[in-house]
A and B are shown apart, each in its own frame.
Chain A
Amino acid sequence: MLHLKGGAMLSLLVNGGISLAGWFIWNGGANFWFAVFFLILAGFSLLILISGIIRYAFNLKTNAPESSSEEELKH
């Protein structure tokens, strides 16, 4: 649901990178467009994550299967 390559936990790497860049920008020394680029990246990835969670919850509730998977698992 994250649509980040290499597994959901890879978001740690992406977030780590973004945070690192944020830290450097915070301490000065980065140009304006670089900071804006990272801001868009961080915002966009958060937006995708949240929209994915909303859709997951929506589909979990509304498109429920007719028979129980748990019954199948018992088999």
Chain B
Amino acid sequence: MYAKTFLVPNRYHQHNVNNVSQAIIIPSHNPSPLTLTLLCQILDWNPGIHIYLVDDSTPIECQEGLRIFDTALKLFPQVMVIRTSSNKLKAGAINYGLNRLARCDTPLPDIIFTCDDDIWITPGTLTGMTRALMADDRLGAVCSQSWVTNKNQNLLTRLQALEYFGFNAARLTDEGFYQGPLVMHGMLTAFRTQALLGAGGFNEQSLIEDYEITTRLKEQGWHVRMARNALAWTTVPTKFSQLWKQRVRWTYGGLTVLAKCRHWPSIIQDVFGHVLFFGTLAAIAIFFLFPFSINGFHGSWPRLLGRIIILLSLAQFMISYLFQVWILRYYHEKDKWDWFLRLSILPEFIYANILSLVLIGSYVFFTFNALSRRLSVSATGLGIFIRLVRSGFKKIGFTETWGTRVA
């Protein structure tokens, strides 16, 4: 059933979407004025929507952030501002909003949006997502396109913007492939209420709650997709240290989701990625570290196989490169510098390879954590060693302790 979607993706039907009730939950911790802008945009362009702004225990010292909640209450009386009893991080704050929503006297909405508190949207964003979600009864969630607000700030943000454009292209590629794209991102996603509540809400223990909920929706048989006409912008890290922390959470968090998921169609894209990357890495390592173990194959066959492998690799590089250049025409915010970065290959190559270090580190950190949990740490020496290694990992940004927010 799934195999044919490798080449011919599922198609989704179009239904009328009149009278769809909507609610949006916005978890927020120490918000900026951007949150007020977002509220204004939502209410101006989607007047019937119910908004739950969840103050995730913003500390009393953060007076500016607290003032944003006061201002929101004054300016937008229709917005429900609720405060968690303790800092619950993003997944917990959304669940808190969900519980409040479920306890209201009014009927449950058809669609529940969740989003970050610092995004920008357009007049058609939420409508576009609603149409895309209600288009087919199989769909449990749709996410927006993700664009970058501060693309032109520096080279790092520009490279991330190109990468985000690639994420959008990947989501379009994966539409109808098995049950849809790998992740309905936390930046802005619309859930069918029945699907979200049926899945039991968000997992508060996960480092990467958006990927985790997507896998559980798929486990329950729902499909997901990206709403192509729904645009949203986010601000990306401007410093490498911030980016590193974010990517450690994404990659290590992704591995933890992968390890727990038992429904392989939910994670098929990730499985391919890890198998190819890890397989190549391991084989190269074996090649250089233990050359004697792979000797012993002589004659005409090695030359023939070697030629085929090199040809296949060159073909993949050329096809991949030409495709990347071709799709840049759909990148509406591109300028000459984006063309330069893409055509010259090297900046994106360096960027991708630096980020691949995060992935390699995540493999090591994941293996270390899996092993250390199995070992008895009661032995003093071993316990000290494990703590030392863990603090070493922490120094280079690898930790299991922070939530969605960058620590």
Interface residues of A in 17-75 (CB under 8 A from B): 17-32, 34-39, 41-46, 48-56, 58-60, 62-73, 75
Contact, CB under 8 Å: A7 / B163? yes
- The 8 A CB mask of B10-54 against A (1 = contact, 0 = none) is 011010000000000000000000000000000000000000000
Candidates A39, A45, A56; contact of B172 at CB < 8 Å: A56
Separation in Å of the A27 CB from the closest CB of chain B?
7
Shortest beta-carbon contacts, A-B, top 6 = A26-B306, A22-B309, A65-B229, A7-B352, A1-B173, A25-B306
**Contacts of B399 on A, CB cut-off 8 Å?**
none
Q: Which of A24, A43, A50, A68 contacts B229 (CB 8 A)?
A: A68
Contact status of A59 and B356, CB under 8 A, knowing A31-B297, A34-B294, A38-B283: no
Contact residues of B between 279 and 336, Cβ < 8 Å to A: 279-281, 283-284, 286-287, 291, 294-299, 301-303, 305-310, 312-317, 319-320, 323-324, 327, 332-333
Q: Which residues of B contact A69 (CB under 8 A)?
A: 145, 228-229, 231, 332
The answer to whether B319 touches A18 (Cβ under 8 A) is no
Cβ–Cβ < 8 Å partners of A28 in chain B: 297-299, 302-303
* Residues of B close to A35: CB separation below 8 A: 297, 301-302, 305-306, 309
Chain B residue at minimal CB-CB distance from A62:
B11
Q: Main secondary structure on chain B at its contact with chain A?
A: helix
**A3-B270, A25-B306, A31-B295 known, 9 other contacts, Cβ within 8 Å:** A10-B277, A19-B310, A22-B305, A25-B297, A30-B302, A34-B294, A35-B306, A49-B320, A54-B7
The interface residues of chain A lying within 8 Å CB-to-CB of B348 are 7, 9
Please name all residues of chain A whose beta carbon is closer than 8 Å to the beta carbon of B8 when the two chains form the complex. 58
Residues of A near B315 (CB, < 8 A) are 46
Q: Are A29 and B177 in contact (CB under 8 A)?
A: no
16 residue pairs from A and B, CB less than 8 Å apart: A1-B173, A1-B323, A8-B324, A9-B345, A25-B305, A28-B298, A29-B297, A34-B294, A41-B283, A49-B316, A49-B319, A51-B6, A62-B11, A63-B11, A65-B128, A66-B128
Task: Decide if A4 touches B277 in the complex (CB within 8 Å).
Answer: yes
A63 in complex: contacting residue of B228, B284, B302, CB < 8 Å: B228
Residue of chain A at shortest CB distance from B347: A9
Q: Which of B123, B227, B270, B355 contacts A65 (CB 8 A)?
A: B227
Among residues of A, the one whose C-beta sits closest to the C-beta of B314 is A19
A interface bracket (residues with beta carbon within 8 Å of B): 35 or more
> Is there contact, CB below 8 Å, between B283 and A34?
yes
Q: Chain B residues near A11: list those with CB within 8 A.
A: 316-317, 320
A19 to B296, CA, bound (A): 20
Q: At the interface, yes or no: B340 with Cβ under 8 Å from chain A?
A: no
Separation of A10 and B360 alpha carbons in the complex (Å):
13
Complex interface: chain B residues within 8 A of A8 (CB) = 166, 170, 320, 324, 352
Contacts from A to B (Cβ < 8 Å):
1-32, 34-39, 41-46, 48-56, 58-60, 62-73, 75
Residue on B nearest A60 in the bound complex, by CB: B172
Other-chain residue from B175, B294, B317 in contact with A59 (beta carbon distance below 8 A):
B175
Contact status of A13 and B356, CB under 8 A, knowing A53-B323, A59-B175:
yes
Known A-B contacts A22-B310, A41-B280, A44-B276; A53 and B319 likewise in contact (beta carbons under 8 Å):
yes
Nearest CB of A to B278, in Å: 9
**Nearest chain A CB to B231's CB is how many angstroms away?**
5
B358 within 8 A of A: yes
Judge if B240 is at the interface, Cβ distance under 8 Å.
no
Complex CA distance for A56 and B326, rounded to whole angstroms: 12
A54 to B5, CA, bound (A): 11
Nearest chain B CB to A64's CB is how many angstroms away?
A: 7
